[in-house]
Amino acid sequence: MPGQLRDRYVQLGRHIPPSPGALPRFLDRLHQAYRHGGRTQAILAAACAHHRLLWVHPFADGNGRVARLMSYAMLHSALDTKGLWSVARGLARQEQVYKEQLQACDGPRRGDMDGRGNLSEAALASFTEFFLSTCIDQVDFMSRLMQPDRLHDRIMIWAEEEMRAGALPPKSDMVLKAILYQGALERGVVDSMLDMSERAARRITSALLKAGAITSESTRAPLHLALPAKYAERWMPGLFPER
């Protein structure tokens, strides 16, 4: 059953995970150890918690997928990745090294200078370096595909074409430009920024929202840039393989 903790003993190679009865205590400890800290600690925690969850092996099946999803969620929270890249892709491309690194982390400490717990701290540090290097590789990969330095120009060209075709109201490009530079735009300033009535400004934001170019959590929340798949070919050429 999805989400149900395993109710039997298991062995993974030479590693024997905790007993079924001890799983809640180990999961509570994992949560306590990795939920706090600043931004740097949160990034490091995504790597460390990745192995520790797999070491606990809380489920009968699907532990690898859960660990990768957890790491994705932790990095998404710490870095606000917007879902533009995923460490899971990088780990899948280095599956053998990934598994070897995880197995090394299962080993006991290598002497008095190797941490204070039962497991090797040096092995965990090595896995953390591998994990974070994989993250950087995926950021670089997506940067090459998306060419963010040219994203602004491509969106502005798209907006101009949509306005000429009558699909978007005039001055829609000004709203998009403000969001691109600021990251977010308060709804209440759109009318003054465009020097028009509130009703006319609302017509522009509604058209952009309907087109899927921008998004907002509610009718009063700030406006943010959306990255809909239907515009990927225009806004981020090369992101998807050609048919």
Q: Which of 145, 172, 204 is the last residue of a domain?
A: 145
Tokens of 32: 């306590």
CA distances, 84 to each of 154, 189, 232 (Å): 18, 28, 12
pLDDT of residue 149: 80
**Predicted confidence (pLDDT) per residue in 163-222, tens digit:** 999 999 999 999 999 999 998 999 999 999 999 999 999 999 999 999 999 999 998 899
Same domain, 74 and 137: yes
- Positive or negative CA dihedral for 53, 58, 61, 65? negative
Whether residue 213 lies inside any domain: the answer is: yes
In the predicted model, is pLDDT for residue 100 greater than 90? yes
Question: How does DSSP assign the chain, residue by residue?
Answer: -TTPBP-S---BTTB-PPPGGGHHHHHHHHHHHHS-S-HHHHHHHHHHHHHHHHHH--BSS-HHHHHHHHHHHHHHHHH--TTS--HHHHHHHTHHHHHHHHHHHTSBP-STTS-SSSB-HHHHHHHHHHHHHHHHHHHHHHHHHH-GGGHHHHHHHHHHHHHHTTSS-TTHHHHHHHHHHHS-B-GGGHHHHHTS-HHHHHHHHHHHHHHTSEE-SSSSSPBEE---GGGHHHHSTTSS---
Q: Does residue 243 surpass a pLDDT of 80?
A: no
The answer as to whether 85 is a domain residue is yes
With CA atoms as reference, report the closest residue to 105 among 126, 89, 87, 90. Answer: 126
Q: Which of 183, 177, 237, 240 shows the shortest CA–CA distance to 204? A: 177
* pLDDT tier, 238 (very low <50, low <70, confident <90, very high otherwise): confident
Residue 66 lies in a domain: yes
Percent of the residues in the chain that have a pLDDT greater than 90, as a whole number:
76
Q: Is residue 99 part of a domain?
A: yes
Q: Which pLDDT band holds residue 112 (cuts at 50, 70, 90)?
A: confident
Residues 41 and 97 in one domain: yes
Looking at per-residue pLDDT, the higher value among 237 and 4 belongs to: 4
The residue assigned the tokens 């600021």 is 182
User: Are residues 194 and 204 in contact, defined by beta-carbon separation less than 8 angstroms?
Assistant: yes
**Structure tokens, 2:** 């999805």
CATH of the domain at 222: 1.10.10.10
Q: Which of 4, 31, 7 is nearest to 21 (CA)?
A: 7
Whether residue 137 sits in one domain with residue 32: yes
> Quick check: is 175 in a domain?
yes
Same structural domain, 81 and 161: no
Q: Could you tell me if residue 131 is inside a domain?
A: yes
Per the structure, the complete domain to which residue 191 belongs is given by 148-235
**Same structural domain for residues 123 and 169?**
no
Query: pLDDT, tens digit, for every residue of 128-144?
Result: 999 999 999 999 998 88
241: confidence class by pLDDT, cuts 50, 70, 90 = low
Q: Please say if the pLDDT value at position 117 is more than 90.
A: no
Q: What's the number of domains the chain is made of?
A: 2
The enclosing domain of 69 has a CATH number of 1.10.3290.10
Residues 95 and 128 in one domain: yes
Q: For residue 102, is pLDDT > 90?
A: yes
Rounded to whole angstroms, the maximal C-alpha distance in the chain is 72
Question: Which of 103, 119, 145 finishes a domain?
Answer: 145
pLDDT tens, position by position, 31-55: 999 987 789 999 999 999 999 999 9
Q: Is the pLDDT confidence value at 11 over 90?
A: yes
Tell me, what's the pLDDT at 242? 61
CA distance linking residue 21 with residue 5, whole number of Å: 10
Model confidence at 13: pLDDT above 90: no
What is the predicted pLDDT for the residue at 121?
94
Both 38 and 113 in one domain: the answer is: yes
Taking alpha carbons only, the member of 108, 25, 18 closest to residue 59 is 18
